[in-house]
Structure 1
């Protein structure tokens, strides 16, 4: 009879990483779902609510930059587990917040902890893939994040109706802590020898050498720009979809249906696009992805009926979230195994800068008279520009992103 002790350890590691990604995605979506209730309970104005939404992303950007580097020095599993414990505690503590100041403080701290989780999930999953269809396996694991968003969307309103907005955060925090014993027992992590470096050499490698040494300066900078563009597009579109729906004269409920369609489409896109990258190579697949993203954004901005809006939202999510998840799978291929967390962490941090700046710039443009339709339309040329950056990245990495299998 098959038992947990006889299950393939790398496969179990990937499933555990997926479960953690689900919890991360739940936490990120929970704030948006709790927003209306929080606004009423704490009497927040739109500016305060917007800053509260961004607080965890600010923390995540800072945490990812340092969490990945710390993990390459002392161990990915250790940093992942400590970060998860902190995330669970800060998420539960969010339920105790009574005013705007404490709410923002606790969400920034939760974001810092989350920053220690994401790059290490990706690095551990990449190691567990053992070079076999690595892009597919890492992207499939990251699918846990939009899946967590779907779960939060499905249970969030019921939890708030019964337990208040606090119930949403208590559930997420408790589940995050509960998974830690399973990670301690079964999560695999390669040692320094398996990574091809001694522990001393790993610790001695500087942050600059990890990111920019051995002709990695240009690929690293291009990867950062690509993450910034891709996540700026996603955060802007996701943030303004409800407004877009209302501007079109459709019921507000269609906005929530569209967000759900974006997440569901994104899961399908991540699985299909990452598998295609492993089969045919990153450059042709991702170039086609960004071109299709631009076209779907243009169509979405001009859609007028409920069916068209929801269907095209799913199509936008397929290309937009699919590209984002595929990038998480591609990133570890640019860096040596021993410095993978540092490289991926810096890319995640750069992407979160895009997540923060995108909605801020969009808000300014809306204040200057830009409509939500126009805002979504403007994202199409940005997707084309991201495709050009991807082309430059592929050229700068030699064969690393051209091979059809990894």
Structure 2
């Protein structure tokens, strides 16, 4: 059989049945071709997602993942709002509640480390749905805790689910986002976390006076359980994951048909082309393989340093400000300024990453953070200047830190993406734990506020250097 011309349709390959002749992919010749009887066709799933405008179905996925991150942020931050009520009801010291506040952080780290490999093996939707059910259920049980020891255990278990949900929401959303807008879309989804943390304060201020602190945990448990019903019904499995795992074509076709709103019955096989492939079976082995281990370590180092800074300030800044004789209410207000601009910083950073080199955009964010930290330390005499600089430092810091998830999602292949993102978040949580304890470590040295902020500039510079180093090594290896 001879074809008088080559069939050219971007993203498609045609196979005349029984003749062993293939028409390859090429640039369009301006002609239109009808599908012939007996002609089978394969299509690249990445091309489908990249070529289509952002559809209503992708918007639905974004909304559902955004809501997951909102309830994740609510349940992660909720204990901080319950501390005064617990001290009053249980007649305990503030220091006695330290294990309760840190238990969830340990759970978050452990949950992230386990969730990634599980999602790369059993699917993003499955592990994500189970994670939401897990942290919602344990949050509900925590409402019935009657002593500190029980609450520590229950908060750790809640943290396992919280730590597992976040990386899988990031992975799923990144795999449904077109690459040209991936950073902006993932960062927009990530804005749900500070929103959820803020909602925890508003909900607590309304529920605790009327129904007690247990009602806040009940709300934090019931909401994700209700949300899980919608996730089970409407959230799809990642099309990229289905192709990578060689799932049935009909299953992949159903997902992609909703995105394209086209009839894909002619497609008999879906493929996936990625820049780098690897025959290593274990996702974690691939993440630390020769092609990825340097980039992996640089991502871990960067995220570790970012969360060290963030949790240090959120845990100790009120105390540091009180040490310079600032009223406690004013110290709390100034501390709240630090993450306040995070949403704007996150969205702007994502928008810039889609247009320029993402490594350099995030590195600039960390560098500006270091500069602002030094300036904050020098501006303590002027309250207005101090407030503005602290707000700007928080905006650049949060924008850079939250953008790391999108960067990691684009770095790893589909077969190890959930593991790569989850382990970066898990190692970063260790940095958060170190940041929470760093204040106690530095206390004997009695550093001035200016010295403390100058010291905080160091991990910010390290984070920027690690990203630039990763980018330079990748560019040299091409």
Q: As a proportion of its length, which structure holds more helix? A: 1
Alignment of 1:291-310 (within 5 A): 291-301=367-377, 302-310=379-387
Aligned in 2, Cα 1:314/1:250: closer, same or farther, shift over 3 Å? same
Q: Does residue 1:16 correspond to 2:92, yes or no? A: no
Does the residue aligned with 2:447 lie in a helix, a strand or coil? coil
Q: Conserved in 2, the CA contact under 8 Å of 1:62 and 1:349? A: yes
State the shift of 1:26 in Å: 1.0
Q: Which residue of 2 aligns with 1:79?
A: 127
Inter-partner Cα distance in structure 1 for 2:176 and 2:475 = 24
1:173 corresponds, among 215, 218, 221, to 221
State the shift of 1:282 in Å: 1.4
Q: Which residue of 2 aligns with 1:3?
A: none
Q: Which residue of 2 aligns with 1:237?
A: 313
State the shift of 1:204 in Å: 7.8
Aligned residues: 396
**Deviation digits for residues 109-165 of structure 1 (CA, Å, limit 9, x no counterpart):** 001111210110010010111323111111111111011112122332232222222
**Deviation digits for residues 13-48 of structure 1 (CA, Å, limit 9, x no counterpart):** 011111111111111221111122223333443443
Inter-partner Cα distance in structure 1 for 2:278 and 2:175 = 16
Give TM-score, length-normalised by structure 1: 0.91
1:56 corresponds, among 80, 95, 104, to 104
2:322 corresponds, among 236, 240, 246, to 246
Structure 2: tracts of 5 or more residues without a match: 1-53, 249-276
Q: Does residue 1:381 correspond to 2:429, yes or no? A: no
Q: Conserved in 2, the CA contact under 8 Å of 1:147 and 1:263? A: no
Inter-partner Cα distance in structure 2 for 1:377 and 1:154 = 34
Q: Which residue of 1 aligns with 2:183?
A: 135
Find the structure with the greater CA-based Rg. Answer: 2
Q: Conserved in 2, the CA contact under 8 Å of 1:90 and 1:106? A: yes
Q: Which residue of 1 aligns with 2:233?
A: 185
Q: Which residue of 2 aligns with 1:148?
A: 196
Inter-partner Cα distance in structure 2 for 1:195 and 1:389 = 33
Q: Which residue of 1 aligns with 2:259?
A: none
Aligned in 2, Cα 1:275/1:28: closer, same or farther, shift over 3 Å? same
State the shift of 1:303 in Å: 2.6
Structure 1: tracts of 5 or more residues without a match: 1-5
2:428 corresponds, among 329, 351, 362, to 351
Aligned in 2, Cα 1:179/1:193: closer, same or farther, shift over 3 Å? closer
Q: Which residue of 1 aligns with 2:390?
A: 313
State the shift of 1:340 in Å: 0.7
Does the residue aligned with 1:382 lie in a helix, a strand or coil? helix
Q: Conserved in 1, the CA contact under 8 Å of 2:240 and 2:414? A: no
Does the residue aligned with 1:96 lie in a helix, a strand or coil? coil
Aligned in 2, Cα 1:270/1:64: closer, same or farther, shift over 3 Å? same
Does the residue aligned with 2:236 lie in a helix, a strand or coil? coil
Q: Which residue of 2 aligns with 1:397?
A: 474
Q: Which residue of 1 aligns with 2:440?
A: 363
**Deviation digits for residues 321-352 of structure 1 (CA, Å, limit 9, x no counterpart):** 11111111111111001211011010010110
Inter-partner Cα distance in structure 2 for 1:316 and 1:190 = 36
Does the residue aligned with 1:315 lie in a helix, a strand or coil? helix
Aligned in 2, Cα 1:35/1:396: closer, same or farther, shift over 3 Å? farther
Aligned in 2, Cα 1:208/1:44: closer, same or farther, shift over 3 Å? same
Inter-partner Cα distance in structure 2 for 1:399 and 1:16 = 40
State the shift of 1:366 in Å: 1.3
Give TM-score, length-normalised by structure 2: 0.77
State the shift of 1:363 in Å: 1.3
Greater shift in the superposed pair: 111-120 or 30-39 = 30-39
Inter-partner Cα distance in structure 1 for 2:385 and 2:326 = 12
Q: Which residue of 2 aligns with 1:264?
A: 340
Aligned in 2, Cα 1:232/1:7: closer, same or farther, shift over 3 Å? same
Q: Does residue 1:31 correspond to 2:108, yes or no? A: no
Inter-partner Cα distance in structure 2 for 1:160 and 1:242 = 23
Cα-Cα RMSD: 2.5
State the shift of 1:248 in Å: 3.2
Inter-partner Cα distance in structure 2 for 1:354 and 1:193 = 30
Q: Does residue 1:284 correspond to 2:376, yes or no? A: no
Inter-partner Cα distance in structure 2 for 1:188 and 1:61 = 26
Q: Which has the higher contact order (CA 8 A, sep 6+)?
A: 1
